[in-house]
Amino acid sequence: MNNRIDVILVACGMIIGFIVIIMHLTGLWPCSIINKLDKAFSFNHSNTSALGGGLTFKNFVEGAHFAITNLFRCK
| Alpha-carbon span 58 to 38, nearest angstrom | 14
Question: Tell me, what's the pLDDT at 51?
Answer: 46
Question: Tell me, what's the pLDDT at 9?
Answer: 93
Which of 60, 15, 68, 16 has the alpha carbon at shortest distance from 37? 68
pLDDT digits 0-9 by tens, 11-64: 999 999 998 898 889 887 888 878 877 776 665 555 445 545 556 887 887 888
| Alpha-carbon span 70 to 75, nearest angstrom | 9
How many independent structural domains does the chain possess? 1
Q: Judge contact between 65 and 38, C-beta under 8 A.
A: yes
Within the chain, where are the H helices? Answer: 5-26, 30-40, 57-71
Q: What is the domain range of residue 51? A: 2-71
